[in-house]
Amino acid sequence: MVVAQVSPPEVADAGARFLAEVNSKTAGVSHLDMCIQCGSCGGSCPSASAMDHTPRGLFALIRAGKRDEVIRSNTPWMCLSCYHCVVRCPQEIAITDVMYAIKVIAEKEHTYPNNVGPDFAGVFIGQARRFGRSWEIGLTARHYLHHFILRLPGMTPMAFGLFRHGRIGILPHRIQGRKQLQAILRRADELERAR
Ligand code: SF4
Ligand code: SF4
């Protein structure tokens, strides 16, 4: 006989509260309450082995109200925003956007596991504001010099290969319409502050 597991009311309340908080920070509709815990997201994720919880596990923790565990998890910071999980999720859950929502909470409360992810995001958005896009060589060099200096020599052959094939440039490339993009980013900042 299968016995249905029923959460105690306080766990259900904490889960509902945290779910509502994550939803309020997610751009658009998360559909997180529709997660059926099938695990397709974790099975599709190229970063799953580096995460302390798979996306499925993280969403189970959200629904269990384990707020502290979630906002201290490295999982959102390991997310590459590749959207592979989103394409495969049978419930159309906005997994990548939920990862960003958790990062927003963790940044505000300084609960991220280390400053590698926030620092990378800060440099990336700084370049987007300045050039309108990322400057891969500058971003990578700065990131490795600050955080993984011993791994820098190992990256050099790949950088040369990308450069030889015209995939990256030595100097930053500036897009046209930077002023419009900067206005959009300023507005996004305003909306974020108002949340
Ligand atoms: S693939 Fe979608 S429904 Fe399945 S566990 Fe992941 S988020 Fe939940
Ligand atoms: S978007 Fe993030 S969580 Fe989803 S498969 Fe890609 S790396 Fe994994």
In this structure, what are the phi and psi dihedrals at residue 136, rounded to the nearest 5 degrees? Answer: -55, -45
For ligand 1, atom 4, which residue shows the shortest CA distance?
38
pLDDT interval class at 193 (50, 70, 90): confident
- Tell me the per-residue pLDDT of 95-120, one tens digit each, with 9 for 90 and over: 999 999 999 999 999 999 999 999 99
- Residue at a domain's end among 85, 109, 133: 109
Residues 62 and 26 in one domain: yes
Instruction: Give the closest residue to 85 by CA, choosing from 119, 106, 116, 56.
Output: 56
Give per-residue pLDDT as tens, 44-87.
999 999 999 999 999 999 999 999 999 999 999 999 999 999 99
Do 76 and 133 reside in the same domain of the chain? no
Ligand 1 atom nearest residue 36's Cα: 3
Same domain for 142 and 98 = no
Domain range for 94: 9-109
**What is each CA distance from 59 to 3, 52, 132, 144, in whole angstroms?**
23, 13, 33, 31
Please check whether residues 142 and 176 belong to one and the same domain.
yes
How far does the centroid of ligand 2 lie from the alpha carbon of residue 96, in Å? 6
CATH number for the domain spanning 69: value is 1.10.1060.10
Same domain flag for 76 and 126? no
Task: Report the domain count for the chain.
Answer: 2
pLDDT tens profile 33-48:
999 999 999 999 999 9
15 and 39 share a domain?
A: yes
Whether residues 91 and 150 share a domain: the answer is no
| Residue whose CA lies nearest to ligand 2 atom number 8 | 45
Q: Whole-prediction pTM value?
A: 0.84
Ligand 1 site-directed mutation target among 32, 38, 98, most atoms within 8 Å of CB:
38
Q: Which residues line ligand 1 (CB under 6 A)?
A: 35-41, 55-56, 59, 89-91, 93, 95
pLDDT at 183 over 70: yes
Does 40 share its domain with 89?
yes
